[in-house]
Amino acid sequence: MKEIRLKARAKINLTLDVTGKRDNGYHELRMIMQTVGLYDGVRMKKIPEPEIRLTSNVHWLPTDSRNLAWRAAALMRETYDLKEGVEISIDKRIPVAAGLAGGSADCAAVLVGMNRLFGLRLPLSRLEELALTMGTDIPYCVRRGTVLAEGVGEELTDIVPPCPFCYVVLVKPPVSVSTAKVYQSLRWDQVEEHPDTEAMIEAMAAGDVEKMGTLLCNVLETVTIPMHPQIESIKKALLEKGAAGALMSGSGPTVFALFTEEETAKKAAREVRKQFSIKDVFATQIYHAGRGTGRKEKTE
């Protein structure tokens, strides 16, 4: 194999709870993560020169060791003593610094791609171990699907049955949020509303998207929404336009909403884009690793 193309998919957090803080400063998490259809296109090509070449359609994106995807390729070359190099091209579609794990997804895709391209035949568990050395949410991006993440995000348990199929609208306001700053500002022991993760798992098992909508909860909203009140306005607008529920993903600022009907989701996306004059609005759907969506995939 000399060339491979992959889809580095975005994630949302159906629940996100902080249950404690470790001595090293990291927070203890308990959250349900879900892959969606929106993706970055990643093309990888084996080259004879012992180097890593990275390009992107986003001109300001770092293309050296500051980029997680570059570092993933370097880690695989060094760990497995690969003599040949690799050329990586990333077509960015997932907004940057959005709470959608775009950079982590690119990193995970390169780990998977290097494994296939160089015929290493590493199991998923080994790729997740390597991913963890670069970031706590990268192992999830390697695995994908409907997953309960605990610890600092590295303890992963597949949820069966997974999230039922539904449509998802993503709205990313034109602001960037520092994940580190959000966690530093969080007073986790003072948060009053916490997710009911078990109830969310039960609602998913029942295929009840409407019930899932009422259970969406992210404790990081207590920090990010006061910084960027427009997030709350976007959530309210999506609910008014027929969403089963709306929530900020990760540390933000992206808001996602769940819909049971495709046309309702598309209409909501169009209206919110116009109402708030926001460019980064996407109508997509739930995605399951190995099973796709079960329907024709499309993201607008």
> Is 89 assigned to a binding site?
no
Predicted pLDDT at 280: 97
Three-state SS at 36: strand
Q: Residue 67: pLDDT above 90?
A: yes
- Evaluate whether 209 touches 261 at the Cβ level (below 8 Å): no
Domains and CATH numbers, the chain: 3-158 (3.30.230.10), 167-285 (3.30.70.890)
Mean of the pLDDT values across residues 148-157? 92
The pLDDT confidence band at residue 290, using thresholds 50, 70 and 90, is low
> Is 96 assigned to a binding site?
yes
Q: Distance (Å, rounded) from C-alpha 107 to C-alpha 94?
A: 13
Interval 119-129: pLDDT, tens: 999 999 999 99
The catalytic site residues sit at 11, 137
Q: Which two tokens stand for residue 284?
A: 């997509």
Q: Residue 61: pLDDT above 90?
A: yes
Q: Residue 46: pLDDT above 60?
A: yes
Of 173 and 27, more confident: 173
Arithmetic mean of pLDDT over the chain: 93
Q: Is 61 exposed, middle or buried (0-12, 13-18, 19+ CB in 10 A)?
A: middle
Q: Residue 265: pLDDT above 90?
A: yes
Interval 167-198: pLDDT, tens: 999 999 999 888 889 988 898 788 889 999 99
Q: Distance (Å, rounded) from C-alpha 161 to C-alpha 159?
A: 6
> Is 294 assigned to a binding site?
no
> Is 99 assigned to a binding site?
yes
Interval 196-247: pLDDT, tens: 999 999 999 999 999 999 999 999 999 999 999 999 999 999 999 999 999 9
